[in-house]
Amino acid sequence: MARATYRTRLETLIANSAISQRDRDFAQSLLSYYERKGRLSAGRVKWVATLEDRYSPENIAAAVEKNGGMLERLDTLFARTEPASYANGYTESLINQVKADRRLSERQMDVLRKIEAEHDDDAMAARAKWVESYKNDPKLKQDAIVAANYYMATGYFKDTARRILGDEPFIPTYSQYNKMVKNKYAQKVLTSHYADPKYQPGQLVTFRANAPSGCRNLGGAYLKRDVAMMVVATDAAPITSAARGSKVYKLLPVGKAQTLLVEERHIMKARKLGSAKK
């Protein structure tokens, strides 16, 4: 049998499901050092041995027996948490810590009790009721999608927004939904989304005097503010601004073949046929 190298020993440690995230990161840093230098210093060699001892099958088994009550408590909570959620990941990290016979801090115990309260029988019943409501009320999901598109552009709630848009079966928790959809910014976006468009397809519009130059950019050139444009479509793209009148229109400048997207607040009804020149 080939002699185990520090690389294989560290890779085995990193792959150990019982290792804490902190120790896994530390083992990864030792492996990175070894791959750069081709060796480990004496101090680093001692740490490899320490981690191997800490996560040996014998020590893990002894810790599991010693901390059986806490592990049962944590396993029960882990089963109640939503996969890939903060509560799920945090509980899993505590399980690994206890398996390594490392005591939980007071701060960790406070967070644990908070997560348990959020997943007790009453909370789980309320969560189940919310899931059914979300499944059976199309508007709840539509509002979440509108808000998610907005937040993908702003950077807030990005993880939840990405899952709402890209993971069809995903249902945000009641707390996630309220934080993302019920705040004042998302409510302004929803107001614009559901508002009747001021201008209809086929109608001629032009830019308002205060329209920013960016929205007049057509293929790298800038349209004059008084150019006439025909409305091709309303709600042409997701709303990415919480300003009033942020519904997005697709417009076709008169005499041009290329369309552009402009928010409703930047256009007005054309009083006369504008110039199509740039």
Three-state secondary structure call for residue 204: strand
Asked whether the predicted pLDDT for residue 263 surpasses 70, the reply is yes
At 34-47, the pLDDT tens digits run: 999 999 999 999 99
Token pair of 191, please? Answer: 């107001």
Residue 2's pLDDT is what? 55
According to the model, what pLDDT value does residue 228 have?
Answer: 95
**Centroid of chain to Cα 205:** 38
Going from the C-alpha of 231 to that of each of 174, 189, 224, 250, 276, the distances in angstroms are 39, 21, 17, 6, 15
Q: What is the pLDDT of residues 55-113, one digit of tens each?
A: 898 988 898 889 999 999 999 999 999 887 889 999 999 998 898 888 899 999 999 99
CB atoms within 10 A of CB 110: 11
Encoded tokens for 276: 């199509």
pLDDT at 276: 45
- Please report, rounded to a whole number, the percentage of residues in the chain having pLDDT higher than 90: 75
Report, as an integer, the average pLDDT of 164-190: 93
67 CA to centre of own chain: 35
pLDDT of residue 85: 83
Sign of CA dihedral 203, 206, 208, 211: positive
Confidence of residue 199 (pLDDT cuts 50, 70, 90): very high
